[in-house]
């Protein structure tokens, strides 16, 4: 079998017999007023973080969710878009489509606001999304794209870019590796299907997003995910995997490169009330201003004695400039 067939077989098995805690970060699903998540959905929470960011979900956006899993995040997205077909869930594994359909029917009995027709589950895969060009506001995936080999990841990212409207958002949660994963683990198809051996480094991952055409990336969370210990995985040293939640925007890439926000700020400490770098960035004395990493690097070299650049917090929720 190809590695994708191995992954499909693995997820057929865990659709039919849920594997509690398979790859999820050890935290409870996001809770919203009036939303009750059925237990079967929680047991099939095969994600590594969250792609549901309430600040992105105003005006009832149309969401394309790639890899429906047990339907948990599809239900959460429907909470913000309460209309027929607002959430389109694409899933290649028939058993997973069936499980998600059952779980959403349970959700309808436990949530008076929810109608199963809010979520339309379609067969398909990340490389051939069954929707028109520029037709959705949000594409989301949780702990799926990390399974793909690098060139397949690029295909999936470009396909997400195709279906997004201008200004649309790609909301993802994936494991990343703190150093390159050795070849012998990358070639282990079972570990890849389990989200343990396909992760790229942060730098490789974000560059793939940019190469697909996305001009801005915002990091919403970065936290420890799993440890591949040296003895079990035949490594020279322990290898830490992290979970990265990001939002990438379908906007033009600026001439000086894409903007990546990781929570850095710039603080002007000079004598004047304001500092103007002549490139559109005004800093008030003593007031931290959110900046993208690219702008942070430029400001740090422009006035190193008067501008303090704070470290990445790996959490960013808007504001600032690039």
pLDDT digit string (tens) for the chain, length 322 residues:
699 999 999 889 888 877 665 655 545 567 899 999 999 898 888 788 899 999 899 999 999 999 998 999 999 999 999 999 999 999 999 999 999 999 999 999 999 999 999 999 999 999 999 999 999 999 999 999 999 999 999 999 999 999 999 999 999 999 999 999 999 999 999 999 989 999 999 999 999 999 999 999 999 999 999 999 999 999 999 999 999 999 999 999 999 999 999 999 999 999 999 999 888 889 999 999 999 999 999 999 998 899 999 999 999 987 665 5
Strands 265-268 and 289-290, bridge-based pairing: antiparallel
Interatomic CA distance for residues 166 and 304, integer angstroms? 37
Residue partners of 187: CB distance under 8 A and separation at least 6: none
> Residue 46's pLDDT is what?
79
- Predicted structure pTM score: 0.94
Interatomic CA distance for residues 92 and 95, integer angstroms? 9
């Amino acid at each position: 079998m190809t590695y994708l067939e191995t992954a499909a077989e693995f997820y057929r098995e865990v659709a039919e017999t849920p594997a509690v805690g398979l790859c999820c970060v050890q935290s409870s699903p996001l809770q919203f007023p009036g939303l009750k998540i059925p237990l079967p959905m929680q047991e099939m929470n095969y994600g590594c973080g969250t792609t549901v960011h309430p600040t992105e979900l105003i005006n009832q956006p149309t969401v394309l969710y790639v890899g429906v899993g047990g339907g948990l995040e599809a239900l959460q997205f429907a909470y913000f878009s309460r209309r027929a077909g607002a959430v389109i869930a694409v899933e290649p594994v028939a058993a997973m489509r069936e499980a998600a359909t059952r779980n959403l029917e349970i959700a309808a009995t436990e949530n008076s606001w929810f109608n199963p027709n809010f979520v339309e589950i379609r067969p398909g895969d990340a490389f051939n999304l069954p929707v028109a060009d520029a037709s959705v506001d949000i594409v989301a995936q949780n702990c799926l794209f990390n399974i793909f080999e690098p060139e397949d990841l690029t295909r999936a990212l470009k396909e997400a870019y195709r279906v997004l409207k201008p200004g649309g958002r790609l909301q993802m949660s994936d494991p990343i590796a703190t150093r390159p994963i050795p070849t012998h683990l990358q070639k282990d198809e079972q570990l890849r299907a389990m989200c343990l051996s396909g992760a790229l480094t942060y730098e490789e991952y974000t560059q793939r997003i940019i190469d697909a055409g996305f001009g801005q990336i915002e990091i919403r969370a970065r936290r420890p995910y799993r440890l591949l210990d040296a003895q079990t995985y035949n490594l020279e040293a322990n290898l830490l995997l992290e979970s990265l939640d990001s939002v990438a925007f379908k906007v033009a890439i600026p001439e000086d490169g894409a903007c990546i926000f990781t929570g850095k700020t710039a603080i002007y400490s000079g004598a004047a009330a304001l500092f103007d770098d002549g490139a559109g960035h005004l800093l008030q004395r003593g007031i931290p201003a959110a900046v993208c990493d690219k702008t942070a690097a430029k400001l740090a070299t422009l006035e190193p004695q008067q501008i303090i650049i704070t470290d990445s917090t790996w959490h960013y929720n808007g504001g600032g400039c690039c």
